[in-house]
Amino acid sequence: MLIADNGSTDDTWESIQELTRSNQNVSGFRMAKNFGFENAIEAVLRESDAEVTIVMASDLQDHPRYLKILLAQFELGAEHVYQVVENRLEELTQGFSTH
């Protein structure tokens, strides 16, 4: 797991460092300042050497419970899997698409 700190001003980086010390499967990536969500994603994708990369915001707009669905589609042979959220105000009517 590669976790990016996109120039946070709170104790996010210290929390990431704590995770990396306690779990060898976690790496931290600190950006010098907040370059925006899309640029943070691009930086992490360039840094990652994983077979599978899943991008999620730390605000949990995309609930981790959907990871199993995304990974299952990949395991079925999809090269790209993405999630479409139709309405965040309700209990997330989700659609998943593969390519």
Helices and strands counted in the chain (H then E)? 3, 4
Instruction: Please compute, for residue 42, the number of CA atoms within 13 A of its CA located in the half-sphere on the CB side.
Output: 5
Which carries the bigger pLDDT value, residue 62 or residue 11? 11
Element (H, E) at 28: strand 27-30
Find the length of the chain. 99
C-alpha distances in Å from residue 30, one per residue of 3, 49, 50, 60:
8, 17, 18, 20
- Hey, where are the domains in the chain? 1-53, 60-99
pTM: 0.64
Instruction: Report the distance separating Cα 43 and Cα 33, nearest Å.
Output: 12
Tell whether the model's pLDDT for residue 63 goes beyond 80: no
Please say if the pLDDT value at position 91 is more than 60. Answer: no
Residue pair 3/26 in contact by the 8 Å Cβ criterion: yes
Q: What does DSSP assign to residue 64?
A: G
pLDDT band for 90, please (50, 70, 90 cuts): low
Rounded-to-integer distance, Cα 15 and Cα 8, Å: 11
Confidence of residue 85 (pLDDT cuts 50, 70, 90): confident
